[in-house]
Structure 1
């Protein structure tokens, strides 16, 4: 049950409503740290984000997330579960939900990141790997082995 709760939490965190996508077994193919900068989207278009250089680390802001929208499909929900009461009335539109990713040249990936789960108000650890031109965003609690990966493709 603990594993199921973690998987559910990550799915909500990534705002994609995904239950886990297959992860390619190929090695990371990133040429350098700036390779993740751009706009990325899941194949089912349930999550769209913009990765950007945050001055020594990398981060992402939400462009669209199906689970972050009100019933009208156009208005973003409020950040009602934020642990900071002062932020609970802010819109989830454009929030930076992925932060502090650092390029790890030895491993060919971005590590030590944090991903914010707006549905629970929790923050999880995150890492990103580029495989076959796709971005694998992994959120986890404790160890990456206990996490879940969402695969995104570059749109710009």
Structure 2
């Protein structure tokens, strides 16, 4: 009897292991830890990418915010709203996403980025240069309500 059950136990554990390793869904809109930026993540080819969907307005400024810290002078006049800042995220086999790049307009630099799901549905975002230990981690939360159009103040 035990020898007949063993293949079923092995098969069930393999299926359970594959289900566990499925990447956490990241499509949708995510708010940065400080709540001043929303990134809309969607498929782009074989990977997942993200664009700025909303930014908190800067105090005393009504004009659109530009990519004025970009190292390429030709790109400094492009608006930040709608700008793709996350590229190339791939499933890592452990439920998270790896191998992406994050463009950080405030510094005009790009960083490696990894995303890992948290038990509460939030996402741990790690951006780094070279080695993950040389970086910064913050928690991104899924937007729970529709946000205003990019460039408009939140209600």
Q: TM-score, normalised by structure 1?
A: 0.70
Q: Is the 8 A contact 2:30 2:39 kept in 1?
A: yes
Q: Is the 8 A contact 2:31 2:141 kept in 1?
A: yes
Q: Distance in 2 between matches of 1:139 and 1:102?
A: 15
- RMSD of Structure 2 on Structure 1 (CA): 2.3
Match of 1:57 among 43, 47, 50: 47
Choose between structure 1 and 2 for higher RCO, CA contacts under 8 A separated by at least 6 residues.
1
Instruction: Say if 1:150 and 1:139 are closer, same or farther in 2 by CA, change over 3 A.
Output: same
Q: Distance in 2 between matches of 1:97 and 1:31?
A: 26
2:124 counterpart of 1:136:
yes
Instruction: Say if 1:115 and 1:44 are closer, same or farther in 2 by CA, change over 3 A.
Output: closer
Q: How does 1:98-117 map to 2 (within 5 A)?
A: 98-105=86-93, 107-117=94-104
Match of 1:123 among 110, 124, 132: 110
Q: How does 1:141-156 map to 2 (within 5 A)?
A: 141-155=129-143
Match of 2:69 among 81, 84, 108: 81
Cα drift, residue 49 of structure 1: 1.3
- Deviations 1:73-129 (Å, cap 9, x if unpaired)? 654311112122221111111111111111111x32111111112122111111111
2:47 counterpart of 1:35:
no
For residue 38 of structure 2, what is the aligned residue in structure 1? 48
Give structure 1 stretches of 5+ with no counterpart: 1-28
**SS of residue paired to 2:74:** helix
Q: Distance in 2 between matches of 1:43 and 1:121?
A: 20
Q: Which has the larger radius of gyration?
A: 2
Aligned residues: 125
Q: Distance in 1 between matches of 2:33 and 2:133?
A: 24
Q: Distance in 2 between matches of 1:134 and 1:73?
A: 31
Cα drift, residue 150 of structure 1: 1.4
